[in-house]
Amino acid sequence: MNSKFILLLKPAIVFTITVAVTGFFVVLPRPRVPVYGRPDAMARSFIMWLHGLGDSGPANEHIKNLFNAPEFKTTKWSFPSAPNTPVTCNNGAAMPSWFDIQEIPVTASSPKDESGVLKAVQNVHTMIDKVVTAGTNPKDIFVCGFSQGGALTLASVLLYPRTLGGGAVFSGWVPFNDSILEQLAPESKMTPILWSHGMADTTVLFEAGQAGPPFLERAGMSCEFKAYPGLGHSITQEELRHLESWIKTRLQSSS
């Protein structure tokens, strides 16, 4: 479940004043009001990466170095770390975890810690709100995650009350039941979803990943699902190259 084991990763007021003085006018600069899509916006795009169980944000920061397209030169990245909390599948021992996981392997029918997921979602939404307030178009905000971070990614984008640029789930699962679908805003249902999963995954079984598209279909959504034969519980450069292309085609600020 730890993305440290991933194939490529070895080795989260000023206002205008006019003053008349002896016939001259002094005009202070206008405020920098956030205007989505404006060329000089403070942050053109934002990508958040959510790590897997037992991992940390800093351990994944080098992922951003793989995004070499010109569109990402002004992208702001965030790699938050989960708090240390007791985890049932770890015999109750504390480790970095976004929410509790009852069992490994995770299957399509594994027990779900919905209250823990919703608490973690609130923290992700707080981070997104700060970026939006700073002037980034919500449609230039992308949330991505591996394993447990992938499950939190799905929950976060579906429950965010606005349309985001996209959510990318790698080796994740659906972390709540269908009853959550009643809480989805119409705007959130327009957020694109990319789902990638290894067919040889023995930690989060492929069946757990396969349950994603039908769940989203019941929500009135669709997603791009990519299956990788022979891939276990890890993420490859091939997947990340596709992620770069997938995000690039959806950036509003680059148009």
Q: Is 51 a catalytic residue?
A: no
C-alpha span between 164 and 228 (Å, rounded) = 26
H or E segment at 196? strand 193-198
C-alpha span between 233 and 9 (Å, rounded) = 13
Indicate which residue of 140, 197, 201, 234 is catalytic: 201
Q: In Å, how far from its chain's centre is CA 29?
A: 36
C-alpha span between 213 and 224 (Å, rounded) = 8
Residue 242: count other Cβ atoms within 10 Å of its Cβ: 16
Indicate which residue of 156, 188, 233, 253 is catalytic: 233
CA nearest to 195, candidates 251, 156, 242: 242
Indicate which residue of 3, 56, 147, 196 is catalytic: 147
C-alpha span between 251 and 255 (Å, rounded) = 7
Q: Is 201 a catalytic residue?
A: yes
Instruction: Give the tokens for residue 44.
Output: 């053109």
Q: Is 147 a catalytic residue?
A: yes
Q: Are 81 and 56 in contact (CB under 8 A)?
A: yes
Catalytic residues: 147, 201, 233
